[in-house]
Amino acid sequence: MNINYIAESELMRSDIALALREIISIPSLSTMEGAVAQFLIDTANRLGAIEASIDPAGTFISRFGNGKRTLIFDSHIDTVDVGDLEEWKRNPFDPFLEKSATGDIIHGRGASDNKAGIISMLFGASQWQRLNENQDFSIYVVGSVQEESCDGLALYEVLTGGLIPSPELVVLGEATTNKVYRGNRGRIEAYLRIHGQSCHASAPERGKNPITNIAPLITEIDRLNKSLKSDSFLGAGTVVVSKIECETPSLNAVPGSATLYVDRRLSMEETPESALQELRSIASSLNLNAEIEILQYESTSYTGLGLSQPKEFNTWVTDEDSVFVRAAIQSTQDTRRPSTETGHWVFSTNGVASMGKLGIPTIGYGPADEFHAHTAHDQCPVDDLVEAIAWYSSFPTKLAEVTK
């Protein structure tokens, strides 16, 4: 059957625009996603999902189709906070529709990261189920929690929790401006702590100020950016000192310790272990006895489940010649913006768990532009939503064809 996916998707333009505005209006910071998860359960049921529920961590899981092969469509449902409200033109949780010469645009926190993704996936999976009587797949649309705090944590729980069959592919809905993406750099979050000797600030010679030792450490860490390895696809790794703090009895005292926090992005052939060793080598070259470790993430989900893992995330890339990428590229022919190119995210995604940790092939396709993520200009064009419905509903059929 020859299906005009974009024409079918156009019939849902007003419905999906309304759904995105509704989900944006529900705040959902990490560990506080319960109301959004319930909204998604209600929406999935309305769209004909065979089942819809949450897992122990609070991640939303729905299923469309009854096929023997399993696909996962994943978008996270938490958002970062809004920051300085003065930067926003309007209340970030009162989404508005901007009429522009190039098309309608929906504004509000989470529009681009990542609520447009999860809504498009639901509508797309629903359309695929409705248009295809012979279903090769069971498609699980997953709305993972706590991604903004610890990427991959919740999706890893889904993939290893035994509630759904092991998938042959994970599709991420992070913003790609409706292009096919197939990787992102890994990363670590680490701390470097230097201990000194506290004393009264009126007699600093009696103590040892750790802040004095931190200054050259910062300089050397920053210099790493000039020598880090680069990859032809993902680009170079980076390192940033993201926070500095000290333990001191008062502002009239020499601190007892000082701590640097580092965000280190990892390109190909770089690992969390190699990045940590780089930091230790710098401290050793400066004759500093520094405590250097990867941070540990600890949280309690809105369901009450405790979660934890080290904040280390592997680099991942799915091969450009894989059948999954080929099918994804072919599916762009069913949208208004066909493309033969693939890209990668600058930021990190849940792919660090699916492909980076578990080796499950992973690709991405999502509405909106990652440039607007985490900004006061958070937005998604309605045209992107319609095209995403078309792609998500076309892709399973294309994948079935190329893997016959």
Catalytic residues: 78, 147
Q: How far is CA 394 from the centre of its chain?
A: 23
Phi, psi of 232 (to 5 degrees): -65, -25
Measured CA to CA, the distance from residue 388 to residue 57 in angstroms comes to 28
- Per the CB < 8 A criterion, the answer to whether 284 and 217 are in contact is no
Per residue, the 3-state secondary structure of 265-278, as one string, reads: EECCCCCHHHHHHH
CA-wise closest residue to 20 among 143, 126, 115: 115
Question: Cα–Cα distances in Å, from 102 out to 160, 244, 384?
Answer: 43, 44, 12
DSSP string, 204-247: GGGSB-HHHHHHHHHHHHHHGGGT--EETTTEE-EEEEEEEEEE
Query: In angstroms, rounded to a whole number, what is the distance separating the alpha carbons of residues 264 and 188?
Result: 5
Which residue reads 């035994």 in tokens?
Answer: 162
Please name the residue that has the structure tokens 């990787």.
183
Which of 396, 388, 395, 390 is closest to 115 using CA atoms?
Answer: 388
